[in-house]
Amino acid sequence: MKKANIVLLGAPGSGKGTQAHMLHEHYGFVHISTGDIFRDNIHNQTELGNRAKVYIDDGKLVPDEITVEMVKNRLSQEDCVEFGYILDGFPRTHVQAQALMLFAKIDWIINIDLPLDYLMMRLTNRRTCASCHAVYNLLSYNKTTCEECGGELVAREDDKPATVLNRLEVYKNSSEPIIAYYESVQTVHHVDGKRSPKEVFDSICAIIDQR
């Protein structure tokens, strides 16, 4: 069984979560989402979770040092050590990117690359079932009701054009320093995200299977 530690980068709408899940299914790497780490720490009322909750409840960003410590703790757990992991949603800042390299050995840094106009088109055409919350995209699904339960498909607030544009600008401003930093210390593999999920997955596997 192949073991590797991977940082998977990509903007909202790039399919990063889908690729992380497919890689987990294919290789057995642990899929590490920072959202899950926050929820687990808060639910279990850990010291870090209690500290993070104060900021979240106030609508503020959790400081880098708390996020980094949570991730560091998670990566030291047995499953990550045994199988390797895919980091999805971390690092989000230049400080986090630098901190990660101090306590983790990263084998591959992979960036799913998509132009802004394509991301806008993909995200603004996304629809969610009001009943079962299944997600569809009008670019490939042209019905107004859910295939699973027949519920109405609606556009979420964060998928409306003005909100999407703001989300993408925030990502662009935070990701450029991260990618520039990683390119200064290690190879960053850029994958064309405009293709089908299977084609993107095959490209990522080709990178990982180099060794």
Report d(CA 104, CA 80) in Å as an integer. Answer: 11
Report d(CA 31, CA 86) in Å as an integer. Answer: 5
> pTM score, two decimals?
0.86
Does residue 146 contact residue 131 with C-beta atoms inside 8 Å? yes
Does residue 200 contact residue 111 with C-beta atoms inside 8 Å? no
Domain segments of the chain as ranges: 4-114+170-208, 115-159
- Residue 33, burial from CB neighbour count under 10 angstroms (0-12, 13-18, 19+): middle
N residues, the chain: 211
Active-site residue numbers?
16, 92, 126, 156, 167
Domain 4-114+170-208 has CATH 3.30.465.10: no
pLDDT of residue 2: 80
pLDDT of residue 157: 84
Report d(CA 54, CA 120) in Å as an integer. Answer: 33
Which amino acid, residue 171?
Y
pLDDT of residue 1: 62
pLDDT, tens digit only, all 211 positions of the chain: 689 999 999 998 899 989 999 999 999 999 999 889 999 999 999 999 999 999 989 888 899 999 999 999 999 999 999 999 999 989 999 999 999 999 999 999 999 999 989 999 989 998 999 999 898 989 889 899 999 999 999 988 888 899 889 889 989 999 999 999 999 999 999 999 999 999 999 999 999 998 7
